[in-house]
């Protein structure tokens, strides 16, 4: 699968490694390409089936202005719209992912990979148990694509339903951060247990 990752930092780079190992064709999109494997955002997006937003949320306007037409593409939003004081920009009546979908109505927006430290992208297993990673979105045909990409990283993929459930998935980043501080480690992850 051809994947464009916008942002080559900890999250973008952490997703690219396992996806490349699984045979996906990954290109990083950057405003000012400077490293090998980087292309201008529009060039990276143009040929991609999946576009992953792994840059800071504050860069979203600029990225969308440079991305070109996203119609028909699966867009995985990994960003966290957080205001000063570690509060969500959007509460429980909408979400950053829903607001993104309104801006790119022809795209198939999913929320995922926003509620874990980058360390978990490199090592998603804890003593042989896969950490859980949630995803949600509205396009039924694209669910299998997103599920597969979550599993390709090594997570247990948890389908959290339609995109409106991003209102529940997005606050998990804050819970992860608070828990990480409380336990004094970034080597923590969420796990759904089923009996």
Identify whether 75 is part of a domain: yes
Identify whether 151 is part of a domain: yes
pLDDT at 183 over 80: yes
As a dihedral over the C-alpha atoms of residue 176, residue 151, residue 1, residue 72, rounded to 10 degrees, the angle is -60
Number of domains in the chain: 1
Identify whether 87 is part of a domain: yes
pLDDT at 35 over 80: no
What does the pLDDT read at residue 32?
83
Identify whether 145 is part of a domain: yes
**Which domain does 115 fall in, by range?**
2-183
Please list the residues that pair with 126 across neighbouring strands. 129
DSSP string, 77-145: E----EETTTEESS-SS--HHHHHHHHSTTSEEEEES-SS-THHHH--EETTEEPEEEEEES-GGGHHH
Identify whether 191 is part of a domain: no
Report whether 173 contacts 84 (CB < 8 A): no
pLDDT at 37 over 90: no
What does the pLDDT read at residue 94?
97
The band of 111, judged by pLDDT with boundaries at 50, 70 and 90, is very high
Identify whether 190 is part of a domain: no
Identify whether 66 is part of a domain: yes
Structure tokens at 150: 């979550």
Identify whether 44 is part of a domain: yes
- CATH number, residue 159: 3.40.50.720
């Amino acid at each position: 699968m051809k994947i464009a990752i916008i942002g080559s930092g900890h999250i973008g780079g952490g997703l690219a490694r396992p996806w490349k190992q699984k045979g996906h064709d990954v290109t990083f999109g950057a405003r000012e390409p400077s490293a090998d494997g980087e292309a201008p955002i529009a060039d990276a997006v143009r040929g991609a089936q999946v576009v992953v937003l792994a840059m800071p949320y504050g860069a979203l306007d600029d990225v969308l202005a440079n991305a070109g037409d996203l119609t028909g593409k699966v867009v995985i939003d990994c960003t966290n719209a957080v205001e000063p004081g570690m509060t969500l920009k959007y509460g429980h009546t909408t979400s950053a992912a829903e607001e993104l979908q309104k801006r790119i109505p022809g795209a198939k927006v999913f929320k995922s990979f926003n509620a874990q430290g980058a360390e978990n992208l490199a090592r998603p297993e804890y003593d042989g148990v896969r950490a859980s990673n949630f995803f949600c979105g509205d396009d039924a045909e694209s669910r299998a694509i997103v599920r597969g990409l979550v599993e390709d990283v090594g997570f247990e993929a948890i389908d959290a339903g339609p995109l409106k459930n991003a209102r529940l998935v997005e606050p998990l980043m804050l819970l992860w951060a608070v828990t990480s501080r409380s336990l004094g480690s970034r080597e923590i992850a969420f796990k759904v247990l089923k009996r």
